[in-house]
Amino acid sequence: MAKKLILCLDFDGVIHAYTSGFQGIDTVGDPPTEGALNFLREANKHFVICIYSTRSAYKEGRFAMQKWLSDAFVKETGQLSPGDLDLLYEIQWPTAKPPAHISIDDRAIQFTGEWPDPKALLKFKPWNQKDSSKSSGSMSVDRLGILEGMSESSLQDRISELENVLLATAVVHGTCIKCEMFLPLGDHENHCIIKATLERR
């Protein structure tokens, strides 16, 4: 059996909804993001899951994340099932950034080989701080500012990359309601914005 690759997940704003903001290293007060627990169950079949956060440097922070996740599974089903217990045992909680195959973070963009305009990065907001009233259609103002610094060929390459990756990892994809394509978690927005950027030029 092939060795599983590492999937590194941020905690706050990715697994933990983090709608209340930072309340302390050992305080985790919000519910899971929608679909997070089922994603962990499915992703664990294909990856070694490492949860790595700012909290990870502190023993009390790691304990708080672990307890919160265990409690979240119990709240969802009324009890901790054998499968979820195995999952909690297998999830790793590193204290340093792991050598991941891929990471999911609410405060990161993918480096494409071309540097974005630093001023555009100042406009960046994580998904849970965006003004939904400004995100009609398929365009996000915040992410669009970053992508506008890329050449058209790079944007086309990014579209092709997204369309190819869905063939390889369809099991962990969701349906994008904007473009009706199966894309990795979080990538449907990148895909739609890139399309919108190209159409606008």
Q: Which helix (H) or strand (E) holds 102?
A: strand 102-104
Question: To the nearest 10°, the Cα dihedral for 119, 123, 126, 130?
Answer: -170
What would the mean pLDDT of 188-200 be, rounded to a whole number? 52
Whether the pLDDT of residue 21 is over 60: the answer is yes
What would the mean pLDDT of 9-29 be, rounded to a whole number? 95
Least confident of 19-33, 53-67, 179-193: 179-193
Least confident of 6-15, 106-115, 127-136: 127-136
- pLDDT reported for residue 128: 86
Question: What is the b/e burial string over 50-88, where b = at least 16 CB atoms within 10 angstroms of the residue's CB?
Answer: bbbbebbeeeebbebbeebbeebbeeeeeeeeeebeebe
For residues 21 and 7, the answer to whether their CB atoms sit within 8 Å is: no
For residues 121 and 146, the answer to whether their CB atoms sit within 8 Å is: yes
Backbone angles phi, psi at 101, to 5 degrees: -70, -40
Band the pLDDT of 66: cuts 50, 70, 90.
Answer: very high
Whether the pLDDT of residue 141 is over 80: the answer is no
Whether the pLDDT of residue 8 is over 90: the answer is yes
CA dist., res. 177 & res. 23, Å (int): 33
Tell how strand 102-104 and strand 173-175 pair up. Answer: unpaired
Q: Where are the domains of the chain?
A: 5-104, 118-200
Band the pLDDT of 119: cuts 50, 70, 90.
Answer: very high
Q: How far from the centroid of its chain's Cα atoms is residue 30's Cα?
A: 17
Band the pLDDT of 171: cuts 50, 70, 90.
Answer: very low
Instruction: Classify burial at 128, counting beta carbons within 10 Å of its beta carbon; exposed 0-12, middle 13-18, buried 19 or more.
Output: middle
- pLDDT reported for residue 102: 97
Which residue would you say has higher pLDDT here, 131 or 111? 111
State pTM to two decimals. 0.66
Give the pair of three-digit tokens for residue 128.
Answer: 């849970």
CA neighbours closer than 13 Å in the CB half-sphere of residue 200: 14
